[in-house]
Amino acid sequence: MNPRVILATLLLTPTAHAQSDSAAIAAARKAIQAQLKQSTTYYLGKGYRTINADMLDVNALDEGDSDSELVYILTAGREYLIYGVCDDDCSDLDINVYDAKGNLVATDEEDDDVPAVTVKVTKTADYTIEVAMAACDNDPCSYAVDVLQKK
């Protein structure tokens, strides 16, 4: 085979793969955002309101991994709903909520891909939301979490 053809193939293959990965990530992000919008609309109809749309972000985890970088300041005397959605490759997403002292205050570790917990806050403080990807058929799986406040 011509060395130029081999070199061209080697140089072009990663770019095509990267574009394919990029398209897959964009599609997953769009699907997650649509699921999040649908869920938010449902919960808004149940008496909740959005508290910080700027913090909404689509992330990804491999099966068995978790992320606890999402921190919200929740206000005493209020009730909050914390819920998540994940992509079609995800079949089990879990949420744990910890207070400022690291105590577990709410958890949804059911075998499903739509975790939701409510938290009645007694002290204004930072609360950490840990998301765990319990089951993912095609790593990584994309997910998003939102926090709503009871009206």
Q: What's at 41, amino acid-wise?
A: T
Q: Which pLDDT value is given to residue 49?
A: 94
What confidence tens digit (pLDDT) does each residue in 70-104 have? 999 999 999 999 999 999 899 999 999 999 999 99
CA 117/CA 60 separation, integer angstroms: 21
Section 41-60 average pLDDT = 86
Q: Which pLDDT value is given to residue 18?
A: 47
Q: Which domains does the chain have, with CATH numbers?
A: 28-150 (2.60.120.380)
Q: Which pLDDT value is given to residue 53?
A: 67
Section 26-47 average pLDDT = 90
Section 23-30 average pLDDT = 82
* pLDDT tops 60 at residue 3: no
State the pTM of this model. Answer: 0.82
Rounded alpha-carbon distances, angstroms, from residue 79 to 49, 62, 117, 123:
11, 31, 10, 11
Q: Which pLDDT value is given to residue 9?
A: 36
Q: Which pLDDT value is given to residue 31?
A: 87
- High-pLDDT (> 70) share of the chain, %: 85
**CA atoms within 13 A of residue 99's CA, in its CB half-sphere:** 13
